[in-house]
Structure formats: structure tokens, C-alpha cells
Structure 1
Amino acid sequence: MTAADFDYEDLGLVAGLEIHQQLDTATKLFCECPTAIREPEESDRRFTRYLHPTKSELGEIDEAALEESMVDREFEYLAYDSTCLVEEDDEPPHRVDREAMETAMEIGQLMDMSVVDQVNVMRKIVVDGSNTTGFQRSMLVANDGAIETSDGQVGIEDMLLEEESCQRVEETEDGVRFSLDRLGIPLVEIGTKPDIRSPEQAREAAERIGMLLRSTGKVKRGLGTIRQDVNVSIAEGARIELKGVQSLDDIDDLVRNEVRRQVELLDIAEELDERDAGVGDPQDVTETFEETDSGVIRGALDDGGRVQAVRLSGFDGLVGRELQPDRRLGTEFSDHAKRHGAGGIFHTDELPAYGVTEAEVEALREAVGAGPEDAVAIVADDSSTADLAIEAVAERAETAISGVPEETRDALEDGTSRYLRPLPGAARMYPETDVPPVEPDVTDVETPELLTEKVERYEEEFGLDSGLAEQVAYGQRWPLFESLVGQDAVDATLAAGTLESTLTELRRDDVPVERLTDDHLRETILLVDSGEVPREGIEDLLTALAENPDFTAEEAVEQEDLGGVDESEVREAVAEVVERNAEQVETEGMGAFSGLMGECMGALRGKADGDTVSSVLREEIQKRA
């Protein structure tokens, strides 16, 4: 059965969203450092840490943090001249950033949420290296709101204001390298109630929340500034958290594939129950592969490693069963093994293959006492890794007998997911004693115009067509557009077309438009609107500014000789073109217009308005026709 065949209501699909959005504040949440992202090569110092989980106030240790700590890794951090001792955890955090708190309250109002009377900062244990402290600071700001979708209302459970984690730079031989530039950027986490009942509604709800966030004009834009987590379960399955969805386009596919995965796991569990399945104890089968030609196994043995195996009674034919596109139950086992450093696993549903022979498969089955209905999984690696990895495989196989395990999974770009860690529990939260509580005041917080309302206003007030109005309203430069058409009173279509269509075309032509500042764009549009530069010269002028960002628009015009020409110069240039093509003009008359128009514009090099050139060319042709 494919995901398209599912009756989600019949399956009892329940889903909820967690939206994480960076705020565009001047400084970070608990210090005065800027929120700009730096390049790793700009780092001027670095240090290392080893992190371990701590007990909660009740003496409990969070299961997810405990599993994370079992992976022995060194964490290296890149620091900059724009980071401080707070980010390095060598100084206590400062008070909560006021701008971030005000923006969070504004977002809460857009979702009809109730702001709490007192905001208290909590510590959330995180020992994967993404925070130098071993925890993330988080605070509840508002709760009990709602948004509308075409399939009904979706409740908003709560909104937290948090500090963003470090940016992961790369894996190292000893662990992971992180960058401190992102650590501490204010971040809101918005959690919906489990009111979502279809993949399509999940995507629509995420789009609605994203629109409301962008309506504030106070959130960061671009890759990595917003992340979606999706919680999914079906009636007989388990709650799964799909972590780190980067694109809204992926949400519905991720929900469909997770539902399919749970349906398949439940079918497998039923089959295993009928077979009275079980999992044996891991054992060493290195001798079975002493003469192997398998490259993976041979490489492990030549490095002094071992081969560990586990008998999976009743699993024959099920380890290779597909759960999601190109991901099988064996892939799930492999994901758990990889968490402990192994490259992966082999299992008998896919063997002989990868250099493992039929004779070796038979010898393997005999070594662990596997019968016809049994499967065998093996791990080849150094002794310590092989031991930990095969134990992890055995534990995951045990849960397969029960059904669907609760867990956090990593959302992949192809719409599937892989195991990441157990679901976190309440034991990971405890009070932050270094930051005083905040009593928020909502009286001065204004509710901003929604982007959907902005689109309608642009159409009515400025006469923009619906497509262009939506591009501007949902784009990053709408504040500049409003300043241009308001304070500077420039032509709205000129401003909108330049900020959206023209920049898009230049980006497609590999012009580095990211170097263009608002000042560059404002100066260019004003020069064109005043007639000092013809509209045909906009692309050339912006290209020159992108390649020489230290120039002003007027300096670029002079440097590139992009200034307009008067009508006498236009007539002179057009007359020369018509003279060179006199025979064609006499023969074709106005039929020659199209070809000659391009030649005239080329001769004038974008220095004249197209309408003027067209009018003069028609006059010159008529004289000779």
C-alpha cells in the first residue's frame, strides 16, 4: 500500500507542528553581541569542551541526553571578535533582550495567544555540543491561541522564546566543530495542539504560521533561519518527532511517509508475533569471515577489528521490507548502529552481496544457530564499536516486535526520515537561576498588518497586479518598497519590478545581487524615476553596483557611462542605423522595424528609453518607405 491509498481519518492520524523562527534583533538574547553570521575562516580563537548530562531537580536524567552522552566526542568551538564570554560560558547571561521579548509578544497577538503574567527562564538539557553550556535557555511567553486552515481551526499550545544553538561547521576526527556566531540569536518556538488530521493540513498550518511571522517584519529570512518539526502518530502507532524540516514543500511528504512507516512497522510486528519472534544475544563470528573477500569486512579485520552478529528469530524476509521509499527495516537497524560509530550493517535478507558469498552466509547462519525463518545481522568494525553497534541493533529489533517505538527522527530532503535519538522527557528542564524573571507589558505592542492584507493594499493603492503585489509583500524588501512609494513618491510598478523581477533575473545570470544594499537600490530607482538613467539601463547599473559595492549609484553611472542621452542624440543614432539598412527599409517598410529596433538599442547601449527610440525609429522608416 502506498501513502496515496491511506484513509488518514480511519488510521487515526494526529499531527502537530513546532515552528522555530530566528528573530531579527540587533543583539542576542542574553548578551549585547550582534546577530550577524560569520564565516568560519574569520574565527580568531577556538576552544574545546566535553559535555555530560546532569540530573534534574528530582534526580532524574533525561533518556535522550543519556544516549547522546554515550557517544564519546570532543566539541570544538570557533569564536570571533563579535562573540563574548557569555557565549563561551565563561560569564553569566545578561538580562533578557527587550526587543526580542517585544517581538515575541507581537507574534503572540497575531495568533490570538495570551501572554503570561511572568516570564521565567528555564534550562533545557542538550549535550550534543550545540550549546557550550550543555543546556539551552528557554522561557514560556504566551499560550492558548489559534490559527485558521481550510480544514478547520488549529490550536496554538504555546510559544517559547529561546536562544539559538551553535552552527554545526563540520565533523572532525575527534568529534564535531561548531561556530559560536549563531549561538544566542533570539528564537521563538511555536507549538500547535495535535489538531492536524492530514498531510495537506500540516503544510497549510505551517504556511499560515510562516506568513504571520513574516508579517511582523522582525524575523530573519534565508536558509536555516526557520525550521519546522512535525509530530506524527496514528492510532496503533507512536508519537514521532520529525526534526529539522527546512522546506514547507517537504512537510506533507514527510507526514505521508511517516504514516506509511508506522503502518508497515505495525504489519511487521503482527507478522513477528505470529512467528513467535525473538532476538538472540550478540556473539563474535569473526572466524566465519577470516578468508572473506568482502571489502568492508576485510578492511575491518585487517585493522584488528571483529565481526559481531545477532540472530533475529522469525525475522527472515522482514528485515529487507521497505518502510519508506528506499528505506527498510534493515536501514532502521543500521541507523542505530551508526549512532555508535559503525559504518552500517549487513543482514541476511540482502546477502549474499557486497563480496559476502553464499557459503559465508550459510556458515554465518550455522554459527549463530539461525533457522529458515530467522535473519542474522552483522557489524564489522573495531572491537568497541562493533560491540556497541550490535547491541543497538539488537535493542531496535526487540522494539520491532512490539510495534512502533517513540523517537525523534531526522527529516531528510527526499521526504523520508532516519533515527536521531529517543524522545526527550520532562527530566531535561530545570530553572535558570542566573536570569531574573520578566513581567511583560503588552499595552504598547501593536498588531502588524498581515502579508495577505498587504497584498490587497498594494493592488488597490498602487495598482500592482496580483502576482507582483504578492512578490513584493512576501519578499524581504517590502519596507524599502513602502519607503520608495511613500516618502520618495516613485512609480510603484518601477519600484516593485526592480526589487523583485529585475533582481531575480540578475540572480539567475549569476550577478552577485546579495552585495546590493538598500542604499544601492534606492539610489538606482530614484535615478531612473527622475529620468537621469533610462529604464533600459537598470540591469547594467545594478550589475555594476553588485560588482563594485563600494560605489554609489551616481559613481557607477559615471564609471559605466550609463547616463541618458537627449533626443537629438537618439535621432542621430537611429538615423545612422536606418541609413546602414536603407535597402532593407525601402524593400520591407515597417516590416524592418523589429530588427532595426534591436540594433538601435544596441547602438545607444541602454542610454535611451525604449519608447523614445521606438517613436523616432518609426518616423525615420516612414520618411524612407
Structure 2
Amino acid sequence: MTEFDYEELGLVAGLEIHQQLDTETKLFCNCPTTQREAAESVRSFTRYLHPTPSELGEVDEAALEESQVEREFEYLGYDSTCLVEEDDEPPHPMDDEALELSLEIAQLLSMTPVDQAHVMRKVVIDGSNTSGFQRTSLIATDGEIQTEAGPVGIEDLMLEEESARRVEETDSGVVFSLDRLGVPLVEIGTEPDITSPKQAREAAGRLGMILRSTGSVKRGLGTIRQDVNVSIEEGARVEVKGVQDLEGIENIVRGEVRRQAELLEISEELQDRNAAVGDVQAVSDVFADTDSGVIRGALDAGGAVKAVPLFGFDGLVGREIQPDRRLGTELSDHAKRHGAGGIFHTDELPAYGVTEEEVVALRDAVDAGEEDAVAIVAADTETAELAIEAAADRAAVAIEGVPEETRDANEDGTTSYLRPLPGAARMYPETDVPPVDIDPAAVETPELLDEKVDRYVEAYDLDPGLAEQVAFGRRFTTFEQAVEQGVDPALAATTVESTSTELRRDDVPVENLTDEHFLDVLEQVDAGDLAKEGVGEVLTVLAEQPELSAATAIEEAGLGAVDEAAVREAVREVVERNASQVEDEGMEAFSALMGEAMGALRGKADGEVVSSVLREEIQAKL
């Protein structure tokens, strides 16, 4: 992708990081925060959501557009689902654990907490909240993080409830799962201090490290989401939702800069041509005998073909603004919001079964000349009318420049239109939750992960690479607890990181292993009841049968520790079987025989003990 001069273009960007907190219960009820499988649901119910005015009687533009598409929302409930999640009971007071964690994060970001947290309602009618709004509260303001390109200010930290998890799209609407709804979530918003894609990635990485430093945030796909606000000097602020990884952030910023730069060039050209958008017209007659499958299907079902002339747009509707995305794709995104499959336009026709003769007839029907383009939608009459009007509105905006809007991050680094940017009318007070007084003095500041790395190296003599793996891994709290209980630091570190990784690569379901499993196994090693060489095998048994204790898993694996007499007997048998090799090679036979001896003992004995005994037995034969 082309690299721009971001300073010359006037790039400014900001981040919004959304991170789920790993608390026992949800933010406004006592339900657990564990994820469930949709197949576990025990009931469901449906809702239709509509926008409501704010306290000042205003209706949010984004919510209004969302409501123009009538959709049914189905919600899957579980044996743990309560009336608060179903919006049939008022919310409970804010969860203390979530508030304390959010204050820890605020301290790590050098932020100033508010004196009192007030809960607000944020209108959301895309179905992701049963109530039609999301509850959110400002916790702290005015922080800062450092990047190589300079400081990035942190504007605010919000504590809010997570939305419901989207399960599937249906013909009538969307199915959501209530297991995620209400999980505590912090939203961290930066100032627009970011001036390059690389800095955006670095800032997001730094924020992610700070969040993980608490040891109390959820990990895994979907537990952290990044939104990116991007604009260039003559463009507009665009919010890109749902960027999943750090590399994606860099690609999204770079791609959005290109999109805005291309749209500005298109706008300049359209203005030079005195471009304009004409009136929507019915053109079904033009396609009465068409062989186009899409158009034929719409007409045969009693639908219609609607068209809009785009005067001065010829050649520009098909101009690429992102990889495999054109101005026509932008128009199509808006049409799709109203239920159409998309649009056709004359920059790409004849194609899709539409003939050259039909294109000529289409131009004639709407009085479009050679310098003009025409966009059409084929669908049922109401959908076609709404969709072509939406496409026409977006074409008119293209003459002016870049619109402010919210966009969705695609996997290929491009973006697609979601909705207008929300406005102030989106927020109003939540009257069912009392304010909470905040006492930051009662909260201890966690140790940053990069500080942990240094401490692990210095205090435990860990290799720097292993220390970093442990500190940035999911089980640093398990490691620290094991060391506090007297377990050898190198063994604890290797077990929670290297051994876990090896088992995962062997398709062992390590996700079934709890902190207690690891601590129990390490305690068995420390007590001399299990050789460290058997740790992987015992963890495998526990992963497959998590209800077992470590002692039972050791028995099931046949790995009970053996005494030195048994080790010596097994080693002597190995040496006797390889007597000729020992006679020929002497101590040089040690390496080959060591592997055989360890295999014979199957992890029942410590490798250092086996090594010592083997050396003695080989020496006795010489």
C-alpha cells in the first residue's frame, strides 16, 4: 500500500480501547462473566428496538438511521441469565470489584479520578443491548502514555457494560447471546495526538500492556477491541470500529488516509465538472426483457428498478479508493443499509447480464450524457426507493468531500460504512443507579509488565526471554504464587509458559487447565512426589480430565516418583543392554544412553538423579 507523507496530509488519529475486566460478576447484576456456548441456552425472547428522545427532546442521528431498517432481535438466555440482563428488572448498584480495577488502570495511566461516578445511558438500538441503551460511567480523565514519537494524552476512562454477543444473522434480524451482556468493560479514549500509523500501533500496544498489568482483564478473541478515529487536514473525522489486532490498527490508519485522500481528489474533480445528483426515477421498463439475473429476479417478484443520474460522475464512480473498493462501493454500502443487495452503476456496465443496449437505453431514460454516470437498484419497490435515495445522498456528499461517519473494520484492512457519527443526544442520565463516591487512596497501583520482566530477571535469575514470556503471558499470577510457595522459579516459569505452549501445539486442551491445576502439579514436584520430567504428562491428564487432583493424575499416568534404588536398577539394565557400546565408546556413550534411561523411567525420576547414576554405572564398566 502507498506510504503517504502523513505530516503533509495533516494526519491526526486517536484510539478507543475497549477491554473486558475479569471480575466474578457483571457490572449491574450478580450473574457470572463466563462465556457460554449458544447450544447451552435454555430459552430465548425477541425484541424490536426504537430510538427515543434524550432529556432535551433530541433524537440521535445514528440511532434514527439504525431504526429505519425494521429488524427483530432474538436473545438467547441461560440458566444463569437474570431479569436485569433481560431488562425486566432495574440494574443493581455498580460492581465494587470492577470499579476498583478501573481505578487501578487509571493510576497506571497517570489519570485523575472523578470525585463521584455517575452512570449515563448511551442510546444503542442495533440490538446489542436488550434495553436499547448501554450504561456507562466516567471514572477518570487527563492521563498520558509515552511513545517513540512523543506523548499521547489519555482523555478519559469509562467503566461500562459490555454488549450482547452477536451469534448469527437471520432473514428477520439478528440473534444475540446474553452471556456477554453486562460484563464490565473499560473504555480508554486517547487525545488526537497520534500522527502516523506506526505510532497508532505503538500506542495501542502500550495501552494493552498496561491493561494486562492488572492481571485482571479477560484474554482471548473478542475480549479487547480497538476503535480508531482518523482524519486528515481537509478530510473529516472517521471512527473505525472493531479493529482486532495491533497490525490491523496500523493497516486501518494507513488505509483510511488513502481513502480520504482519494475522496478529496474525487471531490475536487467533481467540483471542476460542476457535478450534481439528479432525481430518482423509475426505470423498470428499460429492463423489461433483461437477462440480468438480479434485475430479472426483482421484477419477477413484483419489484422495481430505480435509478439516479449522477451528472459529471462518469469514470469516478468506478475509481478505486481502497484495495478492491471504489466510490461505487461507498454508494452500495449505504444502499445495503436499507435491505438492497447493492447497486449497479454505468462505470461497471455492461456486466452482470446487463447489455450495452440496455445501458444506452438507461442513459436515455434519465437524460444522462457521456460525462454522466447512472446508479440503479433492483429490489422490492419500497427497498429500491429507500436504497437508491441513500445512494444518491452519498453521491451528493462525494461532491463536497469526506463525510464524518462510523465505519466497520474489514479483515483485509479496508473499511465499510456503518452509520453516522453519534451526537450528544445519544447520552442521558441513568436514574436507576445511584452515584458512587470514589476513593483512589484505597487502590494500590499494580506493577507494569515490563517492570515485572526486570524483577524476574534480577530476583529469580530467569533468562530475560523466559522472564518476558512469563510476565506478558496469561499466568504470571500463577507463577508468582508458585514461587511464593517455594517452587523453583525456573521450573515454575518453564511449566506455565514453555510446557503449556508445547502441550497446546500437541492439541492438548490446555484451556481446561486452571491456576489450581498448575499449582497442584508444581507442589507435587516440590514435595518429591513427581519428577519434573513428568509435569507435561500429568498436565495432559488434567487437561483431559480436569475434575482430577494432581495426585490422582500422577497415579493415572503411572508416574509416581521412584527412589534411587529403583533408578539405579533401571539404569543398570540400560547399561547392560548396551555393554558393547559402553566398552567401545566409554563415557562418550552417555548421551545416547541417557535418553534411553529417561525413556525407561518414563518421567518417574529427576533427570539430574538419572544423569548422576548413569555416569557412575558407565564408569563402573570401564
Task: Give the deviation of 1:3 after TM superposition.
Answer: 3.4
Counterpart position of 2:433: 435
* 1:90-134 per-position Cα deviation (integer Å, ceiling 9, x unaligned): 111222222222222222222222212222221111111111111
Cα distance between partner residues in 1 of 2:383 and 2:132: 25
Residue 504 (str. 1) matches residue 501 (str. 2): yes
Q: In the alignment, which residue of structure 2 is the partner of 1:307?
A: 305
User: Secondary structure, in 3 states, of the residue corresponding to 1:3?
Assistant: coil
Question: Residues 324-363 of structure 1, C-alpha deviation per residue, up to 9 Å, x if partnerless?
Answer: 1222212111211111112222222222333333333333
**Unaligned runs of at least 5 residues, structure 2:** none
CA distance 1:586–1:304, change in 2 (3 Å): farther
Give 1:554's match in structure 2, choosing from 548, 551, 556: 551
Aligned residues: 622
Once residues 499 and 326 of structure 2 are traced to their aligned partners in structure 1, the CA distance between those partners, rounded to angstroms, is 47
Letter in 2 for 1:153: P
What is the CA-CA distance between 1:586 and the residue it aligns to? 4.9
Matches within 5 A, 1:38-117: 38-117=36-115
Query: In structure 2, what is the Cα distance between the partners aligned to 1:22 and 1:53?
Result: 27
Q: Distance in 2 between matches of 1:36 and 1:403?
A: 45
2:450 corresponds to which of 433, 449, 452? 452
Give the residue type in structure 2 aligned to 1:151. Answer: A
Query: Equivalences for 1:477-496 in 2 at 5 Å?
Result: 477-486=475-484, 488-496=485-493
Q: Does the 8 A contact of 1:3 with 1:259 survive in 2?
A: no
Q: Which moved more, 1:563-572 or 1:583-592?
A: 583-592
The verdict on how the C-alpha distance between 1:598 and 1:431 changes in structure 2, with shifts beyond 3 A counting, is same
Tell me whether 1:292 sits opposite 2:260 in the alignment: no
Cross-structure match for 1:9: 7
Number of the residue aligned with 1:564: 561
1:539 counterpart = 2:536: yes
Letter of the structure 2 residue corresponding to residue 147 of structure 1:
I
Which one of 518, 525, 540 corresponds to residue 528 of structure 1? Answer: 525
Superposition map of 1:283-432 within 5 A: 283-432=281-430
CA 1:57–1:555 in structure 2 vs 1: closer, same or farther (change >3 Å)? same
CA contact (8 A) 1:229 1:245 kept: yes
Residue 234 (str. 1) matches residue 219 (str. 2): no
Equivalent position SS for 1:354: coil
1:126 aligns with 2:124: yes
Deviates more, 1:387-396 or 1:561-570: 561-570
Letter of the structure 2 residue corresponding to residue 3 of structure 1: T
- 1:476 aligned residue: 474
Partners of 1:233 and 1:449 lie apart in 2 by 35
Cα drift, residue 260 of structure 1: 0.6
SS of the counterpart of 2:442?
coil
Counterpart-to-counterpart distance in 2, 1:576 and 1:359: 91
1:160 aligns with 158
Structure 2 Cα separation of the partners of residues 582 and 300 of structure 1: 86
With over 3 angstroms needed to count, the CA separation of the structure-2 counterparts of 1:197 and 1:624, relative to structure 1, is: same
TM-score when scaled to structure 2? 0.95
Q: Which amino acid aligns with 1:518?
A: D
Residue 21 of structure 1: CA displacement? Answer: 1.5
Deviation per CA, 1:394-438: give whole Å up to 9, x if none: 111111111100000011222221111000000111111222222
Give the Cα–Cα distance (whole angstroms) in 2 for the partners of residues 617 and 356 of structure 1.
83
Identity of aligned residues (%): 72
CA deviation string 1:214-262 (max 9, x = no partner): 2222222222121111111110000000111121221111111101100
Taking a change above 3 Å as real, the CA distance of residues 160 and 624 of structure 1, as seen in their structure-2 partners, is same
Deviation per CA, 1:517-562, whole angstroms, max 9, x where unpaired? 1121111112223332222211111111111111111101111201
1:31–1:86 Cα contact (<8 Å) kept = yes
Deviation at 1:81, TM superposition (A): 2.2
1:459 maps to a residue whose letter is: V
Q: Is the 8 A contact 1:62 1:428 kept in 2?
A: yes
State the distance in 2 between where 1:35 and 1:364 align. 57
1:603 corresponds to 2:604: no
Distance 2:281 2:300 in 1: 20
Shift of 1:584: 4.9
Indicate the SS of the match to 2:560.
coil
Q: 1:288 to 1:553 in 2, by over 3 A?
A: same
2-structure distance, mates of 1:618, 1:316: 85
SS of residue paired to 1:503: helix
Moved more, 326-335 or 303-312: 303-312
Counting only pairs closer than 5 Å after superposition, residues 177-216 of structure 1 correspond to structure 2 as: 177-216=175-214
Secondary structure of 2:74's aligned partner: strand
- The aligned residue for residue 254 of structure 1 is 252
Q: Secondary structure at the match of 1:200?
A: helix
Correspondence for 1:275 = 273
Q: Which amino acid aligns with 1:610?
A: G
Which among 547, 570, 573 is matched to residue 570 of structure 2?
A: 573
Aligned to 2:440, the other structure's residue is in SS state coil
CA distance in 2, matches of 1:540, 1:254: 43
Shift of the 436–585 alpha-carbon distance from structure 1 to 2, 3 Å rule, reads same
Deviations 1:186-223 (A, max 9, x none): 21111111111111111111122222222222222222
State how far apart, in whole Å, the 1-side matches of 2:576 and 2:104 are: 66
SS of the residue corresponding to residue 432 of structure 2 reads coil
CA contact (8 A) 1:17 1:229 kept: yes
Bigger CA drift: 500-509 or 76-85? 76-85
* Distance in 1 (alpha carbons) for counterparts of 2:309 and 2:221: 45
Deviations 1:10-35 (A, max 9, x none): 11111111111122222222222222
Compute the displacement of 1:308 (Å).
2.2
Q: Which amino acid in structure 1 is aligned with residue 436 of structure 2?
A: V
Separation (CA, whole Å) in 2 of partners of 1:446 and 1:583: 66
| Contact residue 3 and residue 257 of structure 1 kept, 8 A | no
